[in-house]
Structure 1
């Protein structure tokens, strides 16, 4: 009987594919898709004639590399907090080495800049986005460590995504686009940047973060999230109705989502002793709302062409 190998060493292709899959998971696919959706929405807003699909594809690829850089880099820099919070992300659980992740972070930034150079007007926006992604996670600013700088940087990440899409279409953001992009960036800064901390406040405090949830407690953070959701959720449709009704369909989901976030924030106060999943209910409401708002706005724009 022929000898049967006791083990087969995985091929280099297997390791490459596995590393790519783990990096993609670490970069949070749902967040990556949201940034791509913002970018495409900005491009459709600014397109005056037929959309140049080849140019849009090049720009979207550059932006995807940039957002991949920002969130994989965040995973590299967040490893202490993630482990304290019991995160199951690949770096925190030890399946993806920091060295490999850091190498791919660098490659993503290079690809983002290289691809954007092929799209006139885009490279500057990509550079700003990369700088904001760095500022969010790394010293000396490390905006993630405190609520106010975090909100400001998150607003910038959202705003530049729409502006980058518009630049790819060869134009800037007009008045309707400014209202919608401003509303969605504010939704990220005043709601998303707050509710994302609900499940991680204890570990963040142990790691030295100075966010509102870590320093003042979950009750104060929930109150701020409720206020932010109310301001953006009801202010955005009011602004659209007053100044640019064309974007009203895209802002209505913010009002519905605001109610959902507020309910989840109030319920979180009764479930803090339960699972991490339960404490992330408000964040899931935030994410679904921004998806729906962008998709509705995108469909409205395409239907009007």
Structure 2
């Protein structure tokens, strides 16, 4: 049980649960049968476990160097050998669970996970650190539509919204750790842009994603947009705008991270609320 608790703490539980719930809600929105919905959700969950554990396993030395006592692997609560075995097993399980949903879903999920692992393996320290987030989150809405009996890729506006969500997550997720990352040689795109520019860019990306969803589901006729979609879009626009103003007029702080994450969650909700249009 000690190993299980330590491994769970290494999975980045918050993002793992959020991404898995997003997959579940997108599957519900496109009308997947219960068994397909269950496989989709479990496959995404297992994949996220593999991504989180592999990230902490690769970062264990750096986390120890900066005194990250919140990281089980850095504390030595579980061995790296056990962590790598768990990450590999979760990766294989994610692909095995994806296979019954069809080869297209399997290939898309493999691309999603391969991109995420590439970020962990080194892209996080390069100017291209945002690319895996654009790729993985861009294809993410298609995991639901490709799990249907008649698989199809999500429309272009959903790819844009997903990529915008991924960009926002990446540009803000590292903000609290910029100083620790600098001490250990991690210099991805947000480190090069700085906290203010990263926050403004992330907020603008979320706003762009919200507009893409709005225009995509309406087909150009904004009067046809469901009220709930409008509600979420207004929330996205308000929080994103507030973030941009806050970042420009006041010194960067942790509040920017929270604001962009709120805007990103609202964008995810807007995407889910418009889910029926993913298969239209």
Match of 1:136 in 2: 119
Match of residue 67 from structure 1: 48
Q: Normalising by structure 2, what TM-score?
A: 0.81
- 1:145 Cα offset (Å): 0.7
RMSD: 2.8
1:295 aligns with 2:274: no
Of 184, 187, 197, the residue aligned with 2:162 is 184
Does residue 1:106 correspond to 2:88, yes or no? yes
How far the C-alpha of 1:290 sits from its partner, in A, is 2.9
State which drifts further: 76-85 or 128-137: 76-85
Do 1:36 and 1:64's aligned partners in 2 also have CA atoms closer than 8 Å? yes
SS in structure 2 opposite 1:150? coil
Deviation of residue 43 (structure 1)? 2.8
Q: Supply the distance in 1 between the matched residues of 2:274 and 2:162 (Cα, whole angstroms).
A: 16
1:226 to 200, 225, 242: 200
Residue 268 of structure 1 deviates from its aligned partner by 7.5
Pairing 1:30–2:7 present? no
Gapped regions of structure 2 (runs ≥ 5)? 219-224
Which whole-Å deviations, capped at 9, do the CAs of 1:210-234 have from their partners, x for residues lacking one? 2245456xxx33123213312431x
1:210 aligns with 2:181: no
CA spacing shift, 1:290–1:205, aligned 2, 3 Å: same
Change beyond 3 A, Cα 1:289–1:19? farther
Count of residue correspondences: 265
Would you say the 8 A contact 1:68–1:108 is kept in 2? yes
- Is 2:181 the partner of 1:200? no
Distance across 1 between alignment mates of 2:211 and 2:139 = 23
Relative to total residues, which structure has the larger helix share, 1 or 2? 2
**Bigger-Rg structure (1/2):** 1
Question: Which residue pairs with 1:116 in the alignment?
Answer: 98
Deviation at 1:254, TM superposition (A): 2.5
Superposition TM-score, scaled by structure 1 size: 0.75
Name the residue aligned to 1:149.
128
Q: Could you say what secondary structure the match of 2:96 adopts?
A: helix
- Which of 244, 247, 252 does residue 217 from structure 2 map onto? 244
Query: Any conservation in 2 of the 1:125–1:160 contact (CA below 8 Å)?
Result: yes
Separation (CA, whole Å) in 1 of partners of 2:182 and 2:120: 16
Q: 1:167 aligns with which of 123, 132, 146?
A: 146
